[in-house]
Chains A and B, each alone.
Chain A
Amino acid sequence: MRIHFKTDYNQDIRIFEDRWTFGVYASLLALAFAMPWIADAFYLGELTNVLIWAVAGLGLMILTGHTGQASLGHAAFLALGCYSYTLLIEAGLPFLLAFPLSGLITGVVGTTIMLPALRLRGIYLAIATMAISILADDIIVLTEPWTGGVSGKFVDPIALFGLQIDRWGTPVAFYYLVLVVTVLVTLGYVNVLRAPLGRAFVAVRDSEVSAQAMGVNIVKTKMMSFALSCAVTGLAGALMGMFSGTFNNETFSVIISVQLLMMIVIGGLGSIHGAFFGAIVIGFLPQFLSIAKEWVGGGAVAIPGLEFGVFGMILMAFILFEPAGIFGRWLKIRTWLELFPFYRKDMFKRKKSFLKTERLQ
């Protein structure tokens, strides 16, 4: 067990609490950079996919995990990011301009669309955002001259520093591009969380009344959360477009929204790690299932809906047995290991806290 003897407030502000933690994340990053030498092209592609989903998960995590606003509409923002990126590239903008702009556009447009929904909360917000996701499909078809409608669109390889980067031709370069974006987004996220804005998000999530009494402007904070969430999701959408190379109105269906929300719940709501754990589950589940099918001898049999069925069951199991998600479980395992012989049986028993109504008198 590591004991921290704190002598400076900066120790609580810095990103890594000690050298050990820094070492763990540094070696993780080194491993990620060494991946092209370790994994073959197929698994590198899968890993790229996982990272893109993680970025999308981070986008939704800002809104749902940290500000407590459920959204079933994020597929629409993925689409918005993807199409705006493609249109900007077609307009002749360089990648380094078009990519951040696609995030900015998604942030601004997303927040504008969500303005009327700001007053909604809980299930009603989920329904309103779901409507946006369903509408997005029709809007893409209706605006065919720009979006290509049902027949879809192709995105050109990325031209960056004289290189032609594309997912099939140069998988390694594309992987590095996605990795850099992921690291940058994660760092920005960590920074927001340790600053007043991140605390305001959490305050709005835990008690709006109290947040207001502390001088947090609820509407502004929610708008900021929507803007950041949509912008990051837009970036992920642009990456998804580059990854698949071709997309149409059905690529970003409402199912993707549901999948994204399920992903962050399984990973662990309210933590950056959760987005990554969830992305690993969602990214590798299809491979795992096909391997498992082969193993039981049914490799050639097509089972429609198997993936979603298994995914749904995993989700139910988590809600029933570990609402804190994979990251929550990992924290418990880590504490158990650190304390090893001194672990007590009831340590992680969920404490029954008073309901607000029970506390009234």
Chain B
Amino acid sequence: MNLLELRNVTLKFGGVTAVNNLSFSVQKGEVYALVGPNGAGKSTVFNLISRFYKPFAGSIQFDGHDLLQEKPADVAALGVARTFQNNELFEHSTVLQNLLIGRHRHRNTNFLSEVFFTPNARKQELQNRHMVEEIIDFLDLQPYRDKMIAGLPYGVRKVVELGRALATGPNILLLDEPASGLSVEETTDMRWWIDDIRRQMGITVLMVEHDMGLVSNVSDRVLALADGAKLSEGTPAHVQSDPAVIEAYLGGAA
């Protein structure tokens, strides 16, 4: 079953075609990776799905909804969570508060019950906290729970961002370079987490990643992009041995 489907999506910035007539679909329960050289349009595809950009042509369907009819906040409310390539955390809040913001789409109190902090609002807060604590346990973030983001090392921030996306209780998780800037050990952790997210939590994962080791370890299918267009699609092994992909990365034979 196709959870996410892009059909003939095109996006141009002035004269530059960032995404060119791209079609692909992500199945429920799989890990799908986008690879490609810098500037291939991988992150642009993410920004199209989360509706920060509006495509010139084509359609994006998610779980029976036409995402092009939705606003960015509503896309998130449908259960599309994402992380950012360069960490977009709320700097002046603690790790706990960052994760709690992830619960925002489940808010079922209104303004008045929050001003008076009714028992209902408290119940919701306790529930939110419970969900967040499970994610803290899952990602081993206990030592950082009450630390401000501003003082945290890069590797931890990446994990907090993953946690914040998980806290939304998503149907699909878009990971933009989850392993960039991580050490070898941290990348290994990330690998097992992505595996667990898919197997234990049953969340579909769409990720952009440069680390081919990580990609071939966790993903079911890989899509190689170059200049915004599809180059090759298939299993990691298939894509890695595709002559077109090798040419895009290393250049053609002289």
A contact residues vs B (CB 8 Å cutoff): 9-10, 12-13, 188, 191-192, 194-200, 202-203, 205-207, 209-218, 224, 270, 351, 353, 356, 359-360
Interface of B is mostly: helix
Query: Which residues on B sit within 8 Å (CB–CB) of A188?
Result: 115-116
- Which of A9, A206, A224 sits near B90, CB closer than 8 Å? A206
Instruction: List B residues 117-141 near A (Cβ within 8 Å).
Output: 117, 121-122, 124-126, 128-130, 133
A267–B126 CA distance with the chains assembled, in angstroms: 32
Query: Which residues on A sit within 8 Å (CB–CB) of B74?
Result: 215, 217
Query: Which residues on B sit within 8 Å (CB–CB) of A211?
Result: 101
> A145 to chain B: closest CB distance in Å?
35
* Mask of B76-115 contacts with A, CB within 8 angstroms, 1/0: 1100011010111111110011001111110101010011
> B155 to chain A: closest CB distance in Å?
13
In the complex, the chain B residue whose C-beta lies closest to that of A198 is B114
Are B97 and A202 within 8 A (Cβ)? yes
B contact residues vs A (CB 8 Å cutoff): 50, 52, 71-74, 76-77, 81-82, 84, 86-93, 96-97, 100-105, 107, 109, 111, 114-117, 121-122, 124-126, 128-130, 133, 150-151, 164, 168
Q: With A195-B125, A197-B114 in contact, do A214 and B104 touch (Cβ < 8 Å)?
A: yes
Query: Which residues on A sit within 8 Å (CB–CB) of B77?
Result: 215
> A360 to chain B: closest CB distance in Å?
6
- Which of B86, B90, B102, B109 sits near A202, CB closer than 8 Å? B90
- Which of A13, A192, A212 sits near B76, CB closer than 8 Å? A212
Q: With A13-B125, A196-B104, A196-B107 in contact, do A217 and B150 touch (Cβ < 8 Å)?
A: no
Interface of A is mostly: helix
Query: Which residues on B sit within 8 Å (CB–CB) of A218?
Result: 73
Query: Which residues on A sit within 8 Å (CB–CB) of B89?
Result: 206-207, 210
- Which of A205, A224, A359 sits near B86, CB closer than 8 Å? A359
Are A214 and B101 within 8 A (Cβ)? yes
Tell which of A199, A202, A351 has the most Cβ of chain B within 10 Å. Answer: A199
The 5 closest A-B pairs by CB, nearest first: A215-B105, A215-B76, A195-B114, A206-B90, A210-B88
Query: Which residues on A sit within 8 Å (CB–CB) of B103?
Result: 196
- Which of B86, B87, B104, B116 sits near A199, CB closer than 8 Å? B104
A-B contacts, 20 listed (Cβ < 8 Å) = A191-B121, A192-B114, A194-B125, A195-B125, A196-B103, A197-B111, A197-B114, A206-B89, A206-B91, A207-B90, A210-B88, A212-B52, A213-B50, A215-B76, A215-B168, A216-B73, A216-B104, A217-B71, A270-B92, A359-B87
A341–B151 CA distance with the chains assembled, in angstroms: 23
A191–B151 CA distance with the chains assembled, in angstroms: 27
- Which of B76, B96, B121, B133 sits near A195, CB closer than 8 Å? B121
> B91 to chain A: closest CB distance in Å?
6
> B133 to chain A: closest CB distance in Å?
8
Are B90 and A210 within 8 A (Cβ)? yes
Are A212 and B73 within 8 A (Cβ)? yes
A224–B91 CA distance with the chains assembled, in angstroms: 22
> B32 to chain A: closest CB distance in Å?
19
A360–B107 CA distance with the chains assembled, in angstroms: 33
Are B126 and A9 within 8 A (Cβ)? yes
- Which of A9, A202, A205, A270 sits near B129, CB closer than 8 Å? A9
In the complex, the chain A residue whose C-beta lies closest to that of B125 is A13
Are B100 and A212 within 8 A (Cβ)? no
Query: Which residues on A sit within 8 Å (CB–CB) of B90?
Result: 202-203, 206-207, 210
Are A353 and B104 within 8 A (Cβ)? no
Query: Which residues on A sit within 8 Å (CB–CB) of B81?
Result: 213-214
